[in-house]
Amino acid sequence: MREAAITATLDEATILKLKANLFEAAHPAIDAYGWHSFPWHGNPGGGIDTYKIRSSQALAIDLFGTIKMSNDRDRIMDQLALKVGLPTGGPWSIELEWIDEENYLGELELHRTHVDALARSPQALIFFDCKFTENDGGICSQAHPIRVGPKKGVVQCDGNYALQQDEPDGRAERCALTGKGILYWDAIPHVFDYSKDGNYRPCPFAGPEYQWMRQLTVCWKYAQMNNLQPALLLIYAEGEGLAMAKKTRPAQWDALVGRVRLNRTSIVFERYSFQEILTLARDAAVAERDTFRELFRWVQHKITTVCGYRDTNKRMRKSRV
């Protein structure tokens, strides 16, 4: 699952650790937001963990915070748009940890879809979902028992998209989220080859595809409402032993897109490694090419270090067997 977003009063020691784990050219992107106010990712215990070298949020800030603050931003983003098949032409803006304030799909306030980074021009919209050591996308919670509260243990969905009663609320819907007023299935037929009135056993979005369904539908809807051409790009770390790197290989990626039956004419859904985007940024940059060369080394060092840790731990586990 995606890490929780946390806003908290940070002590100076934590801020220093965060700054040490973020590329220096990206710091002004956080300065503008406020180090105390930024929605940092956290662990299940409620603590911020973006200061850790394995943090995908830190890697996203390294890359997109640097592009955001760069004098070469429009040039870089035009090259990326050209690669993806979106219209070029700035000015481009970039936001970190974006959330749709309009809430076009009626998501519940505490469970709104956050995007690691968003880029927008007068004609195009790009969502970036960044992965580092994560194993997969986040799954839908409705088919799992409620963890806390007076309805603890209740399961709200049987895992199928078919007429059923959401026990906590007593409403009969094909999707428990529809019963809560969330409009994913109003957007899904425009983004995927699924009908709102059909029955699907199991639900095509009960597993890890759920996270990308949310991002794709929010992206599509926001783009429609603002007359933009949309894309969702999965940005992953290319490194030995990293699960998301394996899942982006052609066979696995084609299988994912095949399972969700994406309508490719309505939205672009592609994957690129951090290294690919950094290479594109470095080659497109003029004023700050040296900055992007150094950023490439910074990011690659993080990835190599984390892969080394994982390889060492794997060997240690094998030695105990």
Are 239 and 306 spatial neighbours (Cβ–Cβ below 8 Å)?
A: yes
Q: Is 80 exceeded by the pLDDT of residue 44? A: no
Domain count, the chain: 1
In this predicted structure, what is the pLDDT of residue 1? Answer: 37
Residue 42 confidence class, pLDDT cut points 50, 70, 90: confident
Q: Is 60 exceeded by the pLDDT of residue 6? A: no
Q: Is 70 exceeded by the pLDDT of residue 10? A: yes
Looking at every residue in the chain, the average pLDDT score rounds to: 91
Q: Is residue 200 part of a domain?
A: no
Q: Is residue 81 part of a domain?
A: yes
Q: Is residue 167 part of a domain?
A: no
Kindly report, residue by residue over 80-99, the tens digit of the pLDDT: 999 999 999 999 999 999 99
Q: Is residue 135 part of a domain?
A: yes
Q: Is residue 64 part of a domain?
A: yes
- Could you give the angle at which helices 184-191 and 209-225 cross, rounded to 10 degrees? 90
Q: Is 80 exceeded by the pLDDT of residue 291? A: yes
Q: Is residue 312 part of a domain?
A: no
Kindly report, residue by residue over 232-290, the tens digit of the pLDDT: 999 999 999 999 999 999 999 999 888 889 988 899 999 999 999 999 999 999 999 99
In this predicted structure, what is the pLDDT of residue 267? Answer: 96
Q: Is 70 exceeded by the pLDDT of residue 67? A: yes
Residue 107 sits at the vertex; the CA angle it makes with 102 and 108, to the nearest 5 degrees, is 115
Question: Counting Cβ atoms within 10 Å, is residue 321 exposed (0-12), middle (13-18) or buried (19+)?
Answer: exposed
Q: Is residue 147 part of a domain?
A: no
Q: Is residue 190 part of a domain?
A: no
Check whether the bond before 202 is cis (ω within 30° of 0).
yes
In this predicted structure, what is the pLDDT of residue 315? Answer: 44
In this predicted structure, what is the pLDDT of residue 47? Answer: 81
Determine the structural domain holding residue 229 and report its residue range.
Answer: 8-139+207-292
Residue 24 confidence class, pLDDT cut points 50, 70, 90: very high
User: pTM surpassing 0.85?
Assistant: yes
Q: Give the residue with greater pLDDT, 320 vs 115.
A: 115
Kindly report, residue by residue over 166-210, the tens digit of the pLDDT: 555 566 889 999 989 999 999 999 999 999 999 999 999 988 999
Selection from 258, 236, 185, 219 nearest residue 98 by Cα? 219
